[in-house]
Chain A
Amino acid sequence: MTRSPEQIAADCESIYYDLEFKPARDWKAAEPGRKVVGFVPVFCPREVISAAGALAMSIVGAGDWLEVIRGDAYYQSYLCHIPRSIVELAVSNRLDFVDGMLFPSTCDVIRNLSGMWQMLKPGSFVRYVDVPQNYEPEIGGRFWEGELRILAAEIGKLTGVAVTDDSLRESIRIWNENRAAVDEMYLLRRDRPDLAPTSEVYVVLRAGNVMDPASHTKLIREYIATARTSKRAAVDSSRVVIVGAFCEQPPLALIKTIERSGCFIVDDDFLLVSRWYTAPVAETGDPFKALANAFVKHTIPTAVMYSPKTGRGGALIERVKTARAEGVIFAAPSFCTPALLDQPMLVDGLEKAGIPYTAFKYAENTGQFQPIREQTGTFADTMKLWSAV
């Protein structure tokens, strides 16, 4: 039976709210010996995990529907919320089915969480993933290639499935397909945000956190096909890009609030790992070299990666133009160092380019949306009513 886009989104929303991570548990239970390797934002070489036969499970916190009690005991009030809820998930045994954890070099909080995990779960597979901030193929690329080979060997040991060049190439192909599907869904939303609103696109994207990539690709394709032909009432909203929400995720209700206030979100940096490369990873030749090259040459511009040149706002201005957006909403998690330190540079670029923007902060468990609705609604009205265009 064909599902409507609303039905697909509703099914994905139930995955979104499921803090027992049933799809991932089911995947693991489907065959004896299967392993799940979790990772936290922003980036993870998912291809390597899949090539070792494991499920790469993205863990992005617990949103606004888990009361964080013990997690708060691990963090001072002036640190962001996502590590609290991840710790809460761990100490409440919701992640007990996860066989290993990867912590990327997103920021100092995520970095230190890797050490906390080593102490919280002694003896378990925990690895810090230090991605290169040098983008020379012969320096940073070679370092990253070496790190990937070490990681592949370690995860292979964990799963009992050695990563071979062939298995990694096949994994790259599967993840390329997934990224292509994600890109296509984002293109549909950019061109027809009335047919593919972000509140749906987001949950479809997010369902991939706990699914194997091939199944997720199929889900996205199903959504695209049905959303593209759906009949929905035309809405005249302002087109905006959301910036800063790449790690701790905004609650779904916040995304809906922004849309209901009169905004089409036509680009964003949610769940950035799903769109990390700006070009497909090479599917031939040495697969470790291919992944390393993709990283140093085709990583999407983001606050967590070093920018070697001035004009930090340039890439954002390009995104605004490509998305035919009218303005930018800076939505950064409270105490998010990468996003908040990046913001003044981006603002500077937007001001020089005459692109309107507004800014607010949130936490994954933000529960009050009316002030944000008023702010983004006013912003949308301002662009519609008083824009020079």
Chain B
Amino acid sequence: MTRTDVLKDDSQQRQKDLIGGYFTRLANAPKTGHKTVATFVPGNLTELISCFDAIPILPEINALQSGMRKLSGNYITEAERQGHSEDVCTYVKCDIGMFEGGNIGPTGEALPKPDLLLLSYTGCFTFMKWFELLREKYGTPSVMLHVPYQGQGEVTPEMRKYVVEQLERVVIPALEHTTGRKFDIDLLREKLAWSSKAEDDLVKVWESAKHRPSPIDGYFGGVYYIGPIFTAFRGTQEGAEYYALLRSEIEQRIREGRGPVTPEGEMKEEKFRLVVEGPPNWTHFRDFWKMFTDEGAVVVASTYTKVGGLYDRGFRHDPKDPLGTLADYCMGCYTNHSLPNRVDLISKYIEEYSADGFLINSVKSCASFSAGQLMILREVEKRTGRTGAFIESDLVDPRYFSAANIKNRIESYLQMLEQKRSSVAGAAR
């Protein structure tokens, strides 16, 4: 099989069509008269934005798309040439470099400048500076939705009230002003009902990895699954239909006892079950994935796929409380959780998904994820008794992906897991 000749399920094709259609719709927004609203994936208010018939722009998605298309390196270099530090988030620099290069999206069409920068300030300090920088570039107004962090490990009534008040008195008026449309809360309820349905199905997909063999890869494959729900398709019928289709395919795979689909074909033998913490590297995504599949390692659960919502821990968008549920959603995204909560979640994943071990991919760009990960490693090891692995790379800076080092570490780690397994089996005999 060649590198370009990859297996695709119906749902994968559907996902590709959805995302491609979204980018085309976005590129055509100036012609169709749709307003565009830039916002971030964690805490995104897609249902609310679409209530105003506006199209969201997700700069992180643009950046990771650029990374996967091998364009990010030049974009980052351009931003650094303009004075952006080598020390800061490469998503930001990629986005700025992309802007300077004509803002060409993944479909090869120029993306419009946003009409509003909706700063959903959830779980990442960089977001704030990112939109301040874009505001200087685009001359577009910005509106802040400050989402308090779960520093004490919980959402308090005061935090919830604060977010709801901002939605009512700051965000919705800004969207009304930008689009010229009045807010319709019943329309929001309708969209939230579609969200909830899609979330139900997505959770079933995540939980399918509890089976042996796992029918999915919950990290590398998982980032494709989250594509629609993290971008423009939460709160839509087509989004809900995609997740229903995906779920039915996965359930069929379980019945047939099949492993996950990977770019190299279907995984035939599941040797290792892993939990992964941290975002993937996008510039060498397929190479990175192959390092796992070559060794028969499947990721049964990951934290990165929860940055846009921890649906598997019970959260669902609730049409009965439209603004309250949006507040809960924003505050519940993975990176908005305290470190002890993150340790707790990873430990539970390891137990619930019967993982052999866990791996942390620590990315240079993202302090929100990375600061404290060495402590997370130790705490999870202590709590679960499983040994963890730690590798370093970056989101979209190709200079920080050292394939040989990473492969070496992964292989060594898996060999160690194998040895441990053999010793336990030997002792049992």
Please indicate whether A and B come from the same complex rather than being unrelated chains: yes
A384 within 8 A of B: no
Tell me which residues across on chain B come within 8 A of A134, comparing CB atoms: 144, 146, 162, 166, 170
Complexed CA–CA distance, A167 and B162 (Å)? 27
Which of these binds chain B: A111-119, A157-165, A217-225, A274-282? A111-119
Shortest distance from the beta carbon of A138 to any chain B beta carbon, whole Å: 8
Summed over the interface, the residue pairs from A and B with CB atoms below 8 Å come to a total of: 169
Q: Is the CB of A111 within 8 A of B87?
A: no
Chain B, 368-427, CB within 8 A of any chain A CB: 368, 370-375, 379, 392
Q: CA A114 – CA B342 in complex, angstroms?
A: 13
Do A128 and B146 have beta carbons less than 8 Å apart?
no
**Distance of B93 from chain A, by nearest CB (Å):** 10
Residues of B47-85 at the interface with A, using a CB-CB cut-off of 8 Å, are: 82-85
Q: Which of A108-138 contact B (CB under 8 A)?
A: 108-109, 111-116, 118-120, 127-130, 132-134, 136, 138
In the bound complex, residues from chain A placing their C-beta under 8 Å from that of B152 are 127-128
Which residue from chain B places its CB closest to the CB of A120 in the assembled complex? B375
Give the residues in chain B near A348, CB-CB below 8 Å: 136
Q: Is B364 an interface residue (CB 8 A)?
A: yes
A193 to chain B, nearest CB (A): 29
**How many residues of chain A are within 8 Å of chain B by beta carbon?**
60
Given contact pairs A116-B375, A343-B85, A303 touches B129 in the complex (Cβ within 8 A): yes
Which of B367, B374, B379: most chain A Cβ within 10 A? B367
Q: Which of A115, A147, A332 has the most CB of B within 10 A?
A: A115
Q: Does B142 contact A (CB under 8 A)?
A: yes
B346 CB to nearest A CB, Å: 13
B362-A130 in contact (CB<8A): no
Q: Does A344 contact B (CB under 8 A)?
A: yes
Query: Distance (Å) between the CB of B25 and the closest chain A CB?
Result: 28
Q: Closest A-chain residue to B379, C-beta based? A: A119
Q: Which residues of A contact B375 (CB under 8 A)?
A: 74, 116, 119-120
Contact call B371/A341, Cβ cutoff below 8 A: no
Residues on A with beta carbons closer than 8 Å to the beta carbon of B119: 306
A contact residues vs B (CB 8 Å cutoff):
73-76, 78-79, 83, 103, 105, 107-109, 111-116, 118-120, 127-130, 132-134, 136, 138-140, 142-143, 146-147, 150, 303-304, 306-308, 310-312, 332, 334-338, 340-345, 347-348, 361
Enumerate 26 A-B pairs (CB-CB under 8 Å) in ascending A order. Answer: A75-B374, A76-B373, A79-B370, A79-B371, A109-B367, A111-B371, A112-B367, A113-B372, A115-B339, A116-B339, A118-B339, A119-B339, A128-B152, A136-B169, A138-B165, A138-B169, A139-B165, A139-B169, A140-B146, A140-B162, A143-B161, A307-B132, A335-B87, A340-B87, A341-B130, A344-B83
